[in-house]
Structure 1
């Protein structure tokens, strides 16, 4: 018996303990060397699933519904909240969700954007997550035309009734290129925010706000972002690009515009100077707005963590609830 104990002691001391310590070291290295998220998917999962699992299970999805006939890209997914008294009466507010991807990539079905769509539904909104035509097959203003067409489609009496939506309470949420399109949609036009192609609230995460030559001096966007913008605008240079101003929400701000939530990071792909300039223009026009920039490099929905999510929920509830 004593011999067996001695052998066991030697096994634990010379094999098990070193193996255990090695496993701990490997685990620590994995945790401390994992780089930034390479897509919005894991960030959105971590921030949208953590405290809403019961509600998420009750969200219903209707996929690949056509809102236009000009292109196969003109489709959307609808994330609907659980049935309620409001849904029976057709009184639920809605949010149009616009994915990012440099106007040339991305899809509404990407895991990160699906998760945001589902999260919006847990907050009581009918979320319409759309695809739109992409560069190089389509250039500005085709993308904005698609977003506008989707908004009109939602507002038609037939579709508002189908999805139990209050057509007078529509907002828009976009990130990166989708943030640019969301802000353009919000700043476009004047007057009443509850009909036609107007929206009652805008959430813009990391959207390029000034695509003009002057905008290239707002935080000095890198060469990669400049290439994306020029391809979107179908221009060789910013200096000779007549449509750059029309593609820049900054120059369309007026006092009748809807409240705007501007989110992003201090040091990311789209310079924070763009969001700050947008906030200054909104302030000058006395348009209600929130500027929320977090430290670090997280772009678009990667920055949409639990804290920002709570702020966006409060913002939407104030202006659409």
Structure 2
């Protein structure tokens, strides 16, 4: 995203009432767990990382899991994993839908928890399973991850944010007890591009922002960073136009998003394009590039 684009960004905020309740719930239950799994979207590891969580977690051991890795640029995801390791943070890329990375994630969580569980045994307590809490923003895939780990559909899943709204314990094999909690966003995005990327990926409810303005930025971002993906997906001929409106017109004509009289149905076009991005139909795309300042 160019500096010129950043100077004229639409504002995106979303902080429903249950988010404040979720923060209290997490704070109250952190003392019950040994390890925190922070679940991020591999396409936007920085933008999907809630800076509030580090404050809540404190010194509690954590594992960073980059979910939806099947939708992200693998080279960029690897760079993020390497950066976390340099920061002494355990990190793994996963795909909760197919199970990729599950064994590594469980092993990391169990190893980090062992310090706590062995200390309890040394003090005379009975041996117990490691207790883990999964934390992350809405729609990052927590329910899908838990279902995959548990091997059964134990939580409600939906492709919209805010589905999980209460805590529940789930047994994961013999060595892991897992506490699910609601996703939490933060009240204000200091970096406006963070809110936009959360909107792009569906972490923020589509009804909570101006779709026309947000999609304008999305198309400009794609044209700047991944122009070949738009050209290939929508079979466009020649170079992309300079403005998002012209790009939308070109795609609309090619795909036949037309109203009566041959007028382009812009609303339908925007919805289809963003849904195809979220489904991975535009290719493997990473919107956050790693740098040392971006590791929370």
Fold similarity call, TM over 0.5: no
TM-score (norm 1): 0.27
Higher relative contact order (CA 8 A, sep 6+): 2
Give TM-score scaled by structure 2 length: 0.29
Higher strand share: 1
- Look at both structures and tell me which one has the larger radius of gyration over its CA atoms: 1
